């Protein structure tokens, strides 16, 4: 096999590392994802019956919307673009369940819908995410974009490091635009992100484990 095809295969293998932050795993794989930031804390446990679909439990304590959401989340890989030195993805995310507003009796039907897109090489990463929530007593639309750089190119199975900046827009929040410098580390099935949101004066901590 020509060396250029071997190199391309190794590059794509590194891009598809098991601990990628993407919401769909390999067929038959399970994933636990937790996010903690200045707006909400969430936990998502999902199973991927195919390489393009996943479904699982999702719960979110949203301090900005004063509600706790519990339900099911379905993720769909709508489109993937593979190139010798890069990869792009487009995902659909849908959630349905119930929201329990702070200080109120009873739960209300609730749900959300979102789109997420990313593109990366072994050195550069960019992503965009939009999500619309309806938690019964409150509705919101949020946007988040990231850009990241890898200070070195790691081999498959080694420790990967990314320095990133995330910019979010929450129109209804006291600080509609929020900037979070963060560091992403992953190796094997584990990914950890730690950062600090300047406007909210709060830490960000996300982690993912695939099995």
What pLDDT score was predicted for residue 20? 62
Give the pLDDT confidence of 88-119 residue by residue, as tens digits: 999 999 999 999 999 888 899 999 999 999 99
CB 55 within 8 A of CB 75: yes
Instruction: Give the start-to-end residue ranges of the domains of the chain.
Output: 3-210
Fold held by 3-210: Porin (2.40.160)
pLDDT averaged over the chain?
Answer: 89
| DSSP-derived secondary structure for 20-64 | -S-S--STTEEEEEEEE-SSEEEEEEEEESSSSEEEEEEEEEETT
Which of the two residues, 171 and 88, has the higher pLDDT score? 88
Which of the two residues, 211 and 92, has the higher pLDDT score? 92
What pLDDT score was predicted for residue 19? 52
What pLDDT score was predicted for residue 173? 78
Give the pLDDT confidence of 40-79 residue by residue, as tens digits: 999 999 999 999 999 999 999 998 899 999 999 999 999 9
d(CA 79, CA 89): 6
Which of the two residues, 11 and 109, has the higher pLDDT score? 109
What pLDDT score was predicted for residue 140? 92
Residue 164 has pLDDT above 90, yes or no: yes
Residues with Cβ within 8 Å of 175's Cβ and at least 6 positions away in sequence, in order, are: 199, 200
* Residue 15: closest CA among 163, 88, 122: 122
């Amino acid at each position: 096999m020509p060396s250029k095809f071997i190199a391309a295969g190794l590059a794509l293998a590194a891009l598809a590392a098991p601990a990628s932050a993407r919401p769909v795993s390999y067929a038959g794989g399970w994933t636990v994802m937790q996010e903690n930031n200045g707006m909400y804390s969430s936990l998502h446990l999902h199973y991927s019956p195919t390489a393009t679909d996943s479904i699982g439990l999702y719960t979110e304590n949203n301090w900005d919307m004063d509600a706790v959401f519990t339900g099911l989340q379905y993720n769909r890989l709508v489109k993937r673009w593979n190139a010798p030195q890069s990869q792009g993805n487009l995902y659909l995310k849908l959630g349905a369940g119930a929201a329990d507003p702070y200080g109120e009796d009873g739960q209300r039907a609730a749900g959300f819908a979102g789109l997420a897109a990313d593109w990366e090489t072994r050195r550069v990463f960019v992503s965009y995410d939009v999500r619309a929530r309806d938690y019964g007593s409150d509705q919101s639309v949020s946007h988040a974009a990231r850009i990241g750089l890898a200070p070195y190119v790691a081999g498959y199975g080694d420790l990967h490091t990314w320095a990133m900046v995330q910019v979010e827009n929450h129109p209804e929040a006291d600080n509609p635009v929020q900037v979070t410098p963060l560091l992403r580390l992953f190796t094997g099935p584990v990914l950890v992100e730690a950062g600090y949101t300047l406007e909210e004066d709060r830490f960000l901590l996300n982690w993912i484990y695939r099995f």
